Structures are given as C-alpha cells and as structure tokens.
Amino acid sequence: MQNFIYVFDMIGTIACAISGVLVATRLKMDLFGTIVLAGVTAIGGGSVRDMMMGTTPVFWILDNTYLYVILVTVLISIFCLHRMDRFSTYLLPIIDAFGLATFTIVGAEKALSFGFSGIVAVVMGCVTGVVGGMIRDLLSGRIPLVLQQEIYATASILGAILYVICSYFGLQAMIAMTIAMSGTLLLRLSAIYWKLSLPIFDDRR
Amino acid sequence: MQNFIYVFDMIGTIACAISGVLVATRLKMDLFGTIVLAGVTAIGGGSVRDMMMGTTPVFWILDNTYLYVILVTVLISIFCLHRMDRFSTYLLPIIDAFGLATFTIVGAEKALSFGFSGIVAVVMGCVTGVVGGMIRDLLSGRIPLVLQQEIYATASILGAILYVICSYFGLQAMIAMTIAMSGTLLLRLSAIYWKLSLPIFDDRR
Amino acid sequence: MQNFIYVFDMIGTIACAISGVLVATRLKMDLFGTIVLAGVTAIGGGSVRDMMMGTTPVFWILDNTYLYVILVTVLISIFCLHRMDRFSTYLLPIIDAFGLATFTIVGAEKALSFGFSGIVAVVMGCVTGVVGGMIRDLLSGRIPLVLQQEIYATASILGAILYVICSYFGLQAMIAMTIAMSGTLLLRLSAIYWKLSLPIFDDRR
C-alpha cells in the first residue's frame, strides 16, 4: 500500500516538475530559475498540506528523494525540450492533469491515514493537487489554471470525494486509487478536449 | 468568552466566504472554483496564523464546522446572487470590512491566549484579518485591496492595537471586542465612504 | 557563532525592510501598508522556512527584536526617502542583493544546525533568501525579480552550496559565512552591473 502511494507520488512529482519546466522555458528562465519553478510546482502543494496538518518537517525534508527526482527531471526535460517544443501548448495541460490526479489522491490518503475526517481529506487532496500549480502560475504572472473556466478544481474535488468514498467502503487501496485517479483524469482531460465547463453563475445577466 | 469569540469567528467566515463568491462570480468561475475561492478567503488568514504560531493541525481541521459554514454560505450566496448583483460593487468592500474587523480581533485574541506578546498579537490580528483577502485578490489577478490607497492595513492594525490595550487593562472580553471591532469597522467604512487615505510618501516629488 | 549569525540576520532584515519601503513608496502606499510590505519582505522567507522545518512558533514570535528592527527601519527609511529618491532605481536591486546574500546563509545554517542534509540546507537557504522578495513582488503586482533573466536564484543557490561545502570541511563559521556571502553578493551584483545571465533554454528556436 505505502509503496503504491509512493509510486503515485513520484509520478505526480515528475509530472509537476515537467510542467514547471515548460512554463519556465516560455518565460526564458535560466537553469536555476527553472529548478526553482519546477520545485515549487512539484512540492508546493504537499508542503502546504503538511504545514496545515502539522506533520512537519515537511515530507521532502525527511525524504530527499523528491528533491533528487526533481533535479533529474529538470535536467532530462531541458535536454528533450527541442522535441517537446512544438507540442508544449498541448502538453502542459495534459501533464498538469496527471500531477493534479496523482497528488489529489496522495493528499487525501495522507489526511485519512492521520485519522482526519472525510471532508478534511477532500480539502487536503484538493490542496495537494492544486496549490503547486497555483504558485507556479502566480509566480509566472499567468492567471491560475484553477480559476479558468474549464473544470479544474472540480476534477480534483471529485477525485478526492471518490477516494474517500472508496476508502469508507473498505475497497482495496490499489482499486480505490485507480478509480479516484481515473475519475479526476477523465474529467479533466475531457474538459480540456471538449472545452467543457460547468454552468457559470453570471452576475451580468 | 470562548463562545463569544466563536460567534465572531463564524460571522467573519461567512463575510469572507461571501466576498469570495462575489469575486468568483465576476470571474465567471464554476461552482467548485467558487467554493475554492470562498474557502481560501475565509480560512486562508487563520491557517497562516496557526501555521506561524505552530498551533497545528490548523483550526478548521480540528473543527470542521468552518468548512460546512463555508459550503452553506456559498450555496445560499449563489442562490441569492441575482438579488445582490446590482449592489455587488458596493457590497464587496463592506462585507470585506466585516471580515477584516472580526478576523483581526479573533487573531489577536488567539495570540494573547497562547501567551504571546502584545506586538505579536497585533501582527497575528493583522495576518488573520488581511491574508485571506490578499490570497483571494492574488488568485483572481486583482491588485490586493490591502495595497490600495484607502486605509486597509491601517484599520486592521488599529483594531488589533485597541484590542491588545483593552485586554491589557483587563476590560471584559465582550466590551474589549466590541470596542476593537467598532474601531476597525468605523475606520474602514469611513475610508470607503469618504475615500479617505493617510498621507502618502511620494518619491516622485 | 550564534552572535555572528544574529548580526547577519539583522543586516538582512534591515536590507529587506528597506527594499519593501522602496517598492511601497513607488506604489504610493500609506504608512501602515508600507509597514506590512516591509514586514512581509523581511520575515516572509524565514517564516516559510520555519513552518516547513516545523520549528514553530516562527523565529520572530519568539524574538520580537525583528519586529522592532523592521518598525524602526521603516520609520527611518521614510524619513530619508527624499535623499534616497533619485537613487531608488539603482538602490533597490543592490539592497535586495544584500538581503538575498545574508538570508541565504542564515537559512542554510539553521537547517544544518537542526541536522538536516546538505541538499535540504541548500533549499532552505534559497527559501529564506528568495521567498520574502517573491511575496513583496507578487503583492505589488510586479513580475518577481527571481523570475527575471539576471542571475538571481542562481546566486542564492550558489551561496548556499558554498556554505554547505565550507561547513562540511569544518571551516570556522566566520570564514565560511564570509566566503558564501561574498559568493552570492559578487555573483548577483556582477549580474546587475554587467546584465549577465545564464544561457537560456529557448523553446522558440
């Protein structure tokens, strides 16, 4: 179980680090600036989660693997950039969606494992999934993806709720995580592909 | 005493959640995006306060009432939006002022109750009152209200100082809170109404 | 040793508070808004560091000297503004560089003194050095200095690495700190003076 979550967490870390590199490249940042932006995106959400839950020192201080994974990901990504280049407009939202889906489940699971309530687990899933990308977008002067119309926070909240329900009914961890992650990913990718959005409450009517 | 503070805290939570909904509506955000923005505004300041003081898990993890109050406030606000609509330009700063005033006192009181010094209580009042709205404004791409010319941080700092002084002289809690909250509210609302501002240190002279 | 670090920390606090005042003045903020912005710049980075490491309450709650130093710095800076005025375009990056250099070493040293690994010390040095200025820039609607092309994060990371290496080889604290701080300061000031930047990974080629 723990190993399974760990693998998910690493996938999310790699996905978020790549999304940071993509944004940094567009902003023409140098190597270390790129490392900072990739790092913030990859471990920002989990750090805020840990600080809120009081499980400090935060996860990456206790397990430096995350930092090394980010470093290696940044170096490889930069090396491959001339290949990813022409796809980056399509690639960024898709890779970001993977980070969102994995981190949401990891965050919800961590909150449940500490004995917090279901609603706290949903919030923590959402915090872990959303905050890293939010800080990335804020720092780079973009309007955060989470605030744009396409279903974003919605996908994270739905995934977290799915995971909490599956856990509540005692489903096996691997199944629960697969269901919840598929839910977030499907919803988010459909939203990107079909430009879906929830009905909006327009105050200009 | 504790009950009295709790009531204040809930009023602040409701006010800040409504202010989040008003901003989210202007940005045409969907339901869950709106919940996220309302939540950040309502519990962002208190979360930062608790993380800084080390009183973790933060307050809303231990008492989920805050989360349910935010949810209900968002749903009711959205339902009533067509009525608030034409007033929203006036409403946002006024409701925001209520959140500022209540959260400032709640934050200062919490710091004092943990035995921290008067100046720390003033800072914590200001953090609790100001940070939620700051994050709301940052996320929505607006220049934070706190940085605009009308007396904002000033009102929060004054309210917190008033509360610390009242506590120092042993005034009854209800009286101390009423005085301090009235101070912040009066100063902020006057600033909005008469477009007051403190003298500014202009470096362009 | 501790005294030496404390002096560094105060120099960084004063430098960052002045940089906050310079930005606040350009934005025509009032006295209390200026205090808030100066305070955020001066103690924002160290607060995030302490929250991540779990060494809470954060440093300035336990030692209020930092708050008083900020207050006095703001009042003196405002008083001297008509003299600093015409230099402020040049002054801001230089004073900011001093804050970056001192806080980087202070942050790295604090992480090492708690027994964390070298890579964590480098990250903590960078967090302490960079985050305060980042929040200052975010709040004032500017693109963070750290994300602009001139070597910024690079200077902080290099200084932190230098300090960790010096500590590893058991150099005397004063020497280690002087080497590391000079490294950051020289690199950053050269970057400002000669408009240096690292090669950038341009995806538009």
Nearest CA distance, B153 vs chain C (angstrom):
6
Least confidently predicted of A67-81, A110-124, A144-158: A144-158
Q: Does C72 touch chain B (CB under 8 A)?
A: no
Judge whether B118 lies within some domain. yes
Judge whether A200 lies within some domain. no
What would the 3-class secondary structure string for B57-109 be? CCHHHHCCHHHHHHHHHHHHHHHHHHHHHHHHHHHHHHHHHHHHHHHHHHHHH
pLDDT in tens, C139-153: 887 777 666 656 788
* Residues of B in Cβ contact (< 8 Å) with C56: 51-54, 56
Q: Does A120 touch chain B (CB under 8 A)?
A: yes
Cβ neighbours of C28 (radius 10 Å): 17
What is the reported pLDDT for C66? 94
Within B118-152, residue ranges assigned H as helices are: 118-139
Domain count, chain A: 1
Judged by CB atoms closer than 8 Å, whether chains meet at C29 and B147 is answered as yes
Q: What is the mean pLDDT of residues C20-48?
A: 88
Question: Burial code of B50-86, b = ≥16 C-beta within 10 A, e = fewer?
Answer: bbbbbbbbbbbbeeeebbebbeebbeebbeebeebbe
Q: Does C53 touch chain B (CB under 8 A)?
A: no
Which range marks the domain in which residue A175 is found?
2-194
Query: Which residue from A53, A149, A152 is facing B61, i.e. has the nearest CB?
Result: A53
Q: Does C89 touch chain B (CB under 8 A)?
A: no
State how far the Cα of B127 lies from the Cα of B58, in Å rounded to an integer. 14
Question: Burial code of C77-115, b = ≥16 C-beta within 10 A, e = fewer?
Answer: bbeebeebbeebeeebbbbbbbbbbbbbbbbbbbbbeee
Question: Burial code of B11-28, b = ≥16 C-beta within 10 A, e = fewer?
Answer: bbbbbbbbbbbbbbbbbb
Within chain C, residue ranges assigned H as helices are: 2-26, 31-53, 59-62, 65-84, 88-113, 118-139, 153-168, 173-194
Task: Flag whether pLDDT at A53 surpasses 90.
Answer: yes
* Residues of C in Cβ contact (< 8 Å) with A64: 117, 119-120
pLDDT in tens, A125-144: 999 998 998 888 888 877 77
pLDDT in tens, B117-134: 999 999 999 999 989 988
Q: Which residue has the higher pLDDT, A168 or A205?
A: A168
Task: Flag whether pLDDT at B196 surpasses 70.
Answer: no
Cβ pair C108, C125 in contact under 8 A: yes
Cβ pair C154, A30 in contact under 8 A: yes
Q: Which residue has the higher pLDDT, B192 or A19?
A: A19
* Residues of C in Cβ contact (< 8 Å) with B138: 138-139
Cβ pair A103, A128 in contact under 8 A: yes
What is the reported pLDDT for A123? 94
Q: Could you give the percent of chain C with pLDDT greater than 90? A: 41
Task: Flag whether pLDDT at C135 surpasses 70.
Answer: yes
Query: Which residue from C138, C153, C202 is facing A32, i.e. has the nearest CB?
Result: C153
Closest CA to A51 of B36, B61, C139: B61
pTM of the prediction? 0.89
State how far the Cα of B169 lies from the Cα of A115, in Å rounded to an integer. 42
Judge whether B22 lies within some domain. yes
pLDDT in tens, B52-88: 999 989 999 999 999 999 999 999 988 876 666 666 6
Task: Flag whether pLDDT at A204 surpasses 50.
Answer: no
Judge whether A103 lies within some domain. yes
Judged by CB atoms closer than 8 Å, whether chains meet at A29 and C147 is answered as yes
Q: What is the mean pLDDT of residues A107-135?
A: 92
Nearest CA distance, B72 vs chain C (angstrom):
30
Judge whether B202 lies within some domain. no
Judged by CB atoms closer than 8 Å, whether chains meet at C154 and A78 is answered as no
**Which of C30, C43, C56, C79 should one mutate to test binding to chain B, selecting the residue with the greatest count of B CBs within 10 A?**
C30
What is the reported pLDDT for A99? 87
Judged by CB atoms closer than 8 Å, whether chains meet at C36 and B126 is answered as yes
Closest CA to A119 of B62, C81, B44: B62
Q: Which residue has the higher pLDDT, C83 or C141?
A: C141
Those residues whose C-beta lies under 8 Å from the C-beta of residue C143, and which sit 6 or more positions away, are A141, C137
State how far the Cα of C127 lies from the Cα of B11, in Å rounded to an integer. 35
What is the reported pLDDT for A5? 81
Cβ pair C164, C158 in contact under 8 A: no
Q: Which residue has the higher pLDDT, C173 or B180?
A: B180
> Which residue of chain C comes nearest to A138, CA vs CA?
C138
